[in-house]
Structure 1
Amino acid sequence: MKFIIALVVSVAIVFCEHAAAQDHGSTKAQQALSLIDVDLDSAEEMIIEAISDNPHSAKDHFYCGRIMGRQASDAFFSALSYAKKSLACLQKAVALAPKNVDYRKGLINFYLGAPSIAGGDKQAALEQVNVIKQLDSSQGVVVELDYYRKIKELLTLEKRLAHALTADPQSAIVHYQYGLLLQQTGDYNRAQSHFVLASEQGENREIAYEALYQLGRNAVFAKDFISQGTAALQHYLTIENSTVMPSKSWAHYRLSQLYTLHSDNTLAQKHRLLAADTDDKVLLNLLEN
C-alpha cells in the first residue's frame, strides 16, 4: 500500500506548474513546498500555517496535497491518515477553483492510483473526466483516453482512440496514446508507425519528444527498427527534458540495449555507463542485471 500511495503522490501533482498562472499561492506555501525534499515535517507545519492564513488559495491547498502525499509515502502507521489529508487538500483545491482543469487532473490521478481504503474511486475519477470534457473538449479527449488506459479497459480505449483519430487525424497525443496501447498489446509494428506520426506533429512538443523516446523503447521490444530507434534516442538526448519525461539516463539505457542488439558492444557499454549516472533505483537495478 505504501508503494501505491507513493505513486499517487507522484502523479497527482505533476500538473501544478500549469495551474500557477491562475493562483500564485502564498509565499509561505511556496516556502513549504521548497522544504519537501529537505525537511518534510517542517514543510507540513508550514503548509498548515499557510492554509490557516490563506484558506481561499486553491494553489496552497494543492501544495498541501503534495506535501501530505509525500508524508503518506514516507509513513507507515500513519500512511492512510496522510493519504486522506492529501485527498482532502486536492478536493479543496478543486472546490476553490472549479474551472481549473489541471487541479481536476491531479484529483483523477489520486482516485485512480489510491486503494479504496485511502480514497481511491474509479467512479469519482470518471465524474471528474466528464467535468473536464465540458470545461475543455480538447483536454477532455486526452483525459478520457488516459482514464481508460489506467483502468486497463483496453477495448474501450481502442474504440475511443479510433474515434478520436477520425475526428483529428493529426493529433499527436492520440497517435502517442495509440502507440502506447499497441505497444502494450505487443503490436510493435503498428505502434512504431503511430510513434513516428506523434513525433512529427509540432503542436505539442513534449508529446513529440516523448514519442522519440518511445521510438527507441519500442525498437528494443520489437528487436527491429534499430537504426530508427537509435536516431530517435540520439535526438532525444539533445533536448531539454521536463520532469515528467523519461530521463536522459533512461535514454542512454535504451541506446545500450539497441547497440547490444546491433552487436556494437563498445557503444553499448558506453551508454550503460552513462545510464548509471542516476539515483533512479529501478534503472540501477536493471543495470545490475
Structure 2
Amino acid sequence: MKLKQSLIITTFLFHATITGAVTEVQRTAINELLQKNDWDTAMDLAEDLVDAHPQSSLAHYLLASAIRVKMQEVSQVRAMFSIGDYKESLAKAIELDPQNLDARTEEIGFYMFAPGMAGGDKAVAANKIAALKMVNQIKGLEMEAQLAAVNEDQAGAVTVLQSLIALDPHNPGALMQLAVVAMQDNDFQQADEYLLNITAEQDAGWPLMATYQRAKARVLAKQDLDTAIDLLIAYRQALPEVVSALSLPDDSAVYWRMALAHEQQGEVSEAIRLLRQSVQLNGDFEPAQEDLDRLTE
C-alpha cells in the first residue's frame, strides 16, 4: 500500500513540474484517493496543487472535496473545525471560475443537507440554485428538484423534473427520479417508460441502473415476474464490465430481488436458495436476512 501510494505521489509531482495547470492525472489521483477514504493523502496533494496553482478553480475544488471526505470520516466535533476551510475553498473555486458546476453543486449540496448548527440553510441553497440556473439551466433545475425533494414537496419536484426533461429528454437523473415517484404512486407502467428513455451518454451505469429498477418495479407490482428475473440476470451479467461513478446495487441485492420474484411465483425453495446466497455475500444486508428468517421459520 505504501509503495502504491508513493507511486501515486511521484506521478502527481511529476505532472506538477511539467505542466502549468492542474492535469487530469492529478485530478484522477486525488479522486481515487478519496474513493478509498484516504483523505489525508488527498488533502496533502490538493494543498500542493493550490500552492502551485493559486488561481486554479479546479485546485480549490479538489481541496474542498478532500476536506468534505475528511469531515465525513472524523468525529462531528473535529468536522466542525473544518467547515470554514471547506466553504472558503468552494467559494474561491466559484470566484475563480463561475462555470465550475462541480463546485457550485457541491456548495448547494452543503447548504441543502448540512444541519443548521453546521451552517446548512435551505434558503441559501435556494438562492444559490437561482444563481446556478443563470449559468446552467439544466444543472440548476437538477438541484432545484433535489431541494424540493428535501423539503418533501413531491409535487414541486415532479413539476421541476418534467421541465427538466422537456429541455433534456434523456437526462438520466431526472428520468430516474420520475420513475421512483411513479413507483411510489404504483404507476409501474409509467415508471418503465421513464426508465427505458435512460441512455449511457453520461455514464454507462445509468442504463444498467435502469435495468435494475425496471426489474424492481415488476417485483413491487407482482406482475411480469419472468421478465423481472430476466432483467436481474442481465443486470448481474453486465455489472462486472461497467465502469461507473454511480453506486450500483451489488449481487446481494440482485439475489434478494430475484428471491422475491420466485417467492411470488410460488417457488419458495428457489427463493430460500437465493436469499442464502444474498446473505452469504453480505451478512449485513438486513432485507435478505429478514426474508430468509420469514421463509424458514
Provide TM-score, normalisation by structure 1.
0.73
Match of 2:289 in 1: 288
In the alignment, is the contact (CA less than 8 A) between 1:180 and 1:191 conserved in 2? no
In structure 1, the gaps of 5 or more residues are 1-21
Aligned-partner Cα distance in 2 for 1:67–1:149: 27
1:255 and 2:258 aligned:
yes
Match of 1:208 in 2: 207
Q: Quote the RMSD (CA, aligned, Å).
A: 3.4
3-state SS in 2 of match to 1:88: helix
1:174 Cα deviation from its structure 2 partner: 4.0
Give matches, 1:102-251, under 5 Å: 102-164=102-164, 173-183=173-183, 186-188=184-186, 190-202=187-199, 204=201, 206-239=205-238, 240-249=242-251, 250-251=253-254
Q: Which residue identity lines up with residue 92 of structure 1 in the other structure?
A: K
User: Relative to structure 1, is the Cα distance of residues 33 and 182 closer, same or farther in structure 2, using a 3 angstrom cutoff?
Assistant: closer
Give matches, 1:32-111, under 5 Å: 33-36=31-34, 37=36, 39-76=38-75, 77-111=77-111
1:179 Cα deviation from its structure 2 partner: 1.7
In structure 2, the gaps of 5 or more residues are 1-20, 291-297
In the alignment, is the contact (CA less than 8 A) between 2:61 and 2:89 conserved in 1? yes
Match of 2:295 in 1: none
User: Relative to structure 1, is the Cα distance of residues 233 and 147 closer, same or farther in structure 2, using a 3 angstrom cutoff?
Assistant: farther
Q: Number of residue pairs matched?
A: 262
3-state SS in 2 of match to 1:67: helix
Q: Deviations over 1:224-255 (max 9, x none)?
A: 34233323323322331513142333333322
3-state SS in 2 of match to 1:177: helix
Give matches, 1:10-25, under 5 Å: 24=23
User: Relative to structure 1, is the Cα distance of residues 247 and 98 closer, same or farther in structure 2, using a 3 angstrom cutoff?
Assistant: same
Aligned-partner Cα distance in 2 for 1:175–1:38: 30
Higher relative contact order structure (alpha carbons within 8 Å, sequence separation ≥ 6): 1
In the alignment, is the contact (CA less than 8 A) between 1:149 and 1:157 conserved in 2? yes
In the alignment, is the contact (CA less than 8 A) between 1:84 and 1:118 conserved in 2? no
Provide TM-score, normalisation by structure 2.
0.71
Aligned-partner Cα distance in 1 for 2:32–2:279: 27
In the alignment, is the contact (CA less than 8 A) between 2:170 and 2:199 conserved in 1? no
1:115 Cα deviation from its structure 2 partner: 0.9
Percent of pairs with identical residues? 18
In the alignment, is the contact (CA less than 8 A) between 1:145 and 1:161 conserved in 2? yes
3-state SS in 2 of match to 1:228: helix
Q: Which residue identity lines up with residue 80 of structure 1 in the other structure?
A: M
Structure whose alpha-carbon radius of gyration is higher = 2
Q: Which residue identity lines up with residue 81 of structure 2 in the other structure?
A: S
Aligned-partner Cα distance in 2 for 1:56–1:270: 58
Aligned-partner Cα distance in 1 for 2:281–2:112: 29
Deviates more, 1:127-136 or 1:263-272: 263-272
